[in-house]
Amino acid sequence: MMNNNYRNRYYRLLAKYKYVVQYTKKAKTLIIRLHNSYVRLKQHYFKTLQKAAYNTKTLLEQSIKEKYPLILDHRRRVVYISGKLLDAMEMTKEEFSSSFYIDLLFEKYLPSNFTTTDEQTIPEFHFPIMLQDMSSLGMITEQTTSVSDLQLHPFLHLGISGKRVYNKQKKLFYYFLSTRDMSAEIELLYYQKSDFFIETLSATNMQLLHAQKTIEAHKMMLISLVCSLVEEHNKETSQHLQNIRIITTYMIEEIYRLKLITKAPYETFQYLKDIAYTSVLHDIGKVHIKKELIEKRGDLTEIEFKEMQNHTKAGAAYIKKIILLFQNDPSFSSYINFLKIPYDVCLYHHERWDGKGYPMKLAGTAIPLPARIIAIADAYDAMRASRSYNIPRSHDEAVTEIRNCSGTRFDPTLVQVFLNIERKLEAISY
């Protein structure tokens, strides 16, 4: 009897066990199906999310581009320009990007205060663009008999407004610019208040700006040629020289904005721009130094350091030869003030504000302005770059070091200039 009870209980438990096993298998299958469905649903969700994000981004970009047909960044690059605007200006994107109009926008109209990253509104301003070569428009000649012989106002007159926004992720200031064609109202004013001489002068001014841009391009090409030859000897990378020019350009723009120069050898802004152009020549004297010494890793001996210091005098000597050559030719004498800039940069860019620099131990404002500017630019780039004799520092560390050297190594006024524009330097890649 007892055995029958145990047997019955055993069979009941066995039946329950089989039921649980069968149920577990079904549950497991169901769980697998549910998991697979979850995975597929999750994948679909993320694809939908990505597509929605892409569509939102595309719509946002499209909306921005429709509202702002011209977008620039603080490095004077054309981020976007609409085809409709290019057609109206009768230019390609490449032509507009390399034209003097970009310089004119940044130098005369767009916000130049970089002490804040807050969004800035750009009030509307009048911006004329010459549509075609004036040589085809009946300029004043001996055969011109009347005003009607001239085709007046070959300009597209734009009203430009917008905003400047700082992008923290990309470390760039962006200019979002909207445009409207105000040619009709401008031309009406011209007809009401003037004759063809105003247009002739306007066109001539545009031609002069174009010629100036061409001259500056030629300057840069010649300077770049010299730098490429120097690069072969002292291994200064083209990126280093480009960085020096960029940093110097930002500084001279701030100097001009603050009106810190009361007297210059020639037109103030052109003088400042020439400092930026020639900044890349600061170390041309290193071609006078042995390559083994330039490429040496680790600290220099006292004798080696004195030899290295000679690169300042050697660089100045090269420029001096050109100055003497130009002095002997009256047709080139007007360029001597320009050549004095790289001469001062080469000779004095290692002088210190406290008089403890080299080679002349000049102090304070006795150090020429171009050299004081390049001293800061060169120091920042040297700290940020990867070189054999130092460990690269972060942007903030380099800025802190320059701030700490104000009044000792560097001109305090120029240090403040540097601090005003340091946000723009974060976009430089190292």
What's the number of CA atoms in the CB half-sphere (13 Å) around residue 126?
9
- Per-residue pLDDT band at 140 (split at 50, 70, 90): very low
What's the number of CA atoms in the CB half-sphere (13 Å) around residue 284?
24
> What is the arithmetic mean of pLDDT over 190-201?
52
**What is the distance in angstroms between the CA of the first residue and the CA of the last residue of the chain?**
92
Q: At what angle do helices 196-234 and 183-193 cross, to 10 degrees?
A: 120
For residues 82 and 170, membership in a common domain is answered with: yes
- Per-residue pLDDT band at 210 (split at 50, 70, 90): low
For residues 162 and 268, membership in a common domain is answered with: no
Given this model, what pLDDT does residue 406 score?
A: 98
End-of-domain residue from the set 177, 194, 211: 194
d(CA 361, CA 412): 18
Given this model, what pLDDT does residue 311 score?
A: 94
For residues 336 and 265, membership in a common domain is answered with: yes
Q: Is residue 35 part of a domain?
A: no
Highest mean pLDDT among 2-11, 18-27, 50-59, 115-124: 115-124
For residues 173 and 295, membership in a common domain is answered with: no
End-of-domain residue from the set 194, 227, 252: 194
Environment class of 28 (CB within 10 Å of its CB; exposed 0-12, middle 13-18, buried 19+): exposed
Place of tokens 């080696």: 304
> What is the arithmetic mean of pLDDT over 55-80?
84
The CATH number covering residue 128 comes to 3.30.450
Q: How far is CA 44 from CA 41, 56, 59, 132, 300, in A?
A: 5, 18, 22, 55, 63
pLDDT-wise least confident of 150-159, 290-299, 304-313, 369-378: 150-159
Q: Which residue has the higher pLDDT, 404 or 5?
A: 404
The CA-based dihedral angle spanning residues 274, 277, 283, 285, taken in that order and rounded to the nearest 10 degrees: -60
CA–CA–CA angle 22, 24, 29 (5° rounding):
100
Q: How far is CA 56 from CA 63, 70, 74, 80, 233, in A?
A: 10, 21, 26, 19, 52
Q: Is residue 21 part of a domain?
A: no
DSSP assignment letter at 64? H
Q: How far is CA 280 from CA 165, 171, 277, in A?
A: 30, 24, 7
Given this model, what pLDDT does residue 149 score?
A: 40
> What is the arithmetic mean of pLDDT over 93-122?
91
Q: Is residue 178 part of a domain?
A: yes
Task: Find out whether 277 and 219 touch, Cβ atoms under 8 Å.
Answer: yes
Given this model, what pLDDT does residue 292 score?
A: 82
Given this model, what pLDDT does residue 342 score?
A: 94
Given this model, what pLDDT does residue 403 score?
A: 98
Amino acid, single-letter form, for residue 233: H
pLDDT in tens, 301-311: 889 999 999 99
For residues 177 and 263, membership in a common domain is answered with: no
pLDDT-wise least confident of 55-69, 93-107, 332-346: 55-69
d(CA 166, CA 175): 9
For residues 331 and 280, membership in a common domain is answered with: yes
Alpha helices (H) in 235-257, listed in sequence order: 238-257
**Any idea how long the chain is?**
430
The phi-psi region of residue 144 (left if phi > 0; otherwise alpha if psi is between -120 and 50; otherwise beta) is beta
Highest mean pLDDT among 62-71, 129-138, 212-221, 228-237: 62-71
The CA-based dihedral angle spanning residues 403, 277, 80, 88, taken in that order and rounded to the nearest 10 degrees: 140
For residues 333 and 277, membership in a common domain is answered with: yes
Task: Find out whether 153 and 187 touch, Cβ atoms under 8 Å.
Answer: yes
For residues 139 and 284, membership in a common domain is answered with: no
Q: Is residue 219 part of a domain?
A: no
Average model confidence (pLDDT) across the chain? 83
- Per-residue pLDDT band at 177 (split at 50, 70, 90): very high
CA–CA–CA angle 302, 305, 306 (5° rounding):
90
* Closest listed residue to residue 256, CA positions, set 245, 278, 277, 271: 271
Q: Tell whether the model's pLDDT for residue 413 goes beyond 90.
A: yes
d(CA 157, CA 86): 14
The CATH number covering residue 398 comes to 1.10.3210.10
Q: Is residue 130 part of a domain?
A: yes
Q: Is residue 201 part of a domain?
A: no
Highest mean pLDDT among 25-29, 113-117, 416-420: 416-420
End-of-domain residue from the set 173, 194, 215: 194
- The phi and psi torsions of 369 (rounded to 5 degrees) equal -55, -45
Given this model, what pLDDT does residue 59 score?
A: 65
Given this model, what pLDDT does residue 145 score?
A: 41
For residues 247 and 190, membership in a common domain is answered with: no
Q: Tell whether the model's pLDDT for residue 397 goes beyond 50.
A: yes
For residues 145 and 259, membership in a common domain is answered with: no
For residues 246 and 169, membership in a common domain is answered with: no
- Per-residue pLDDT band at 53 (split at 50, 70, 90): confident
For residues 359 and 293, membership in a common domain is answered with: yes
Given this model, what pLDDT does residue 56 score?
A: 67
* Closest listed residue to residue 281, CA positions, set 331, 323, 319, 332: 319
Task: Find out whether 358 and 309 touch, Cβ atoms under 8 Å.
Answer: yes
Given this model, what pLDDT does residue 121 score?
A: 96
Which tokens is 279 given?
A: 């900044």
Given this model, what pLDDT does residue 190 score?
A: 65
Q: Which residue has the higher pLDDT, 348 or 285?
A: 348
**Greatest pairwise CA separation for the chain in angstroms:** 140
Domain extent for 324: 235-425
Domain count, the chain: 2
Q: What is the pTM of this model?
A: 0.74
- Per-residue pLDDT band at 3 (split at 50, 70, 90): low
pLDDT above 90 coverage of the chain, percent? 47
- Per-residue pLDDT band at 237 (split at 50, 70, 90): low
Q: Quick count: other Cβ atoms within 10 Å of Cβ 251? A: 26
Q: Is residue 202 part of a domain?
A: no
Q: Is residue 149 part of a domain?
A: yes
CA–CA–CA angle 358, 360, 361 (5° rounding):
65
> What is the arithmetic mean of pLDDT over 24-51?
83
